[in-house]
Amino acid sequence: QITLKESGPTVVKSAQTLTLTCTFSGFSLTTSGVGVAWIRQPPGKALEWLALIYWDDDKRYSPSLKTRLTITKGTSRNQVVLTMTNMGPVDTATYYCTHFVGGTNFDYWGQGTLVTVSS
């Protein structure tokens, strides 16, 4: 059974750096073809893909946010970390981590964590 859970601060101040951790179970990030992605959703708005890390450490980023994002495997083998620099009020959103497989599918999602950016 695949599960994922996001953790991190619920409030950050403008200009600060956000660090979120995704802790997962039920799969290995060393298995060929597997990845972990981050997707966010501002309140009442649509989903937005942020970043993706593959089993072989290949990384992909949203072009519009690339300069602010870093995705890495965590120190524990079942964790992925996302950092986003220079946070602003528009970055207030629920941040989800997802399991990625088959080259196209975000098939399992964490419950999400709401991050509010205060000015």
Q: Interface with other proteins includes 56 (CB under 8 A)?
A: no
Instruction: Tell which one of 3, 8, 34, 48 touches other proteins (CB under 8 A).
Output: 48
Say whether residue 104 binds other proteins (CB under 8 A).
Answer: yes
Q: Does 62 bind other proteins (CB under 8 A)?
A: yes
Q: Measured on CA atoms in the order 109, 22, 34, 1, is the torsion positive or negative?
A: negative
Phi, psi of 43, rounded to the nearest 5 degrees: -55, 125
Q: Is 46 in the site for other proteins (CB under 8 A)?
A: yes
Determine contact, residues 70/1, Cβ cutoff 8 Å: no
* Least distance in angstroms from the C-beta of 7 to other proteins: 15
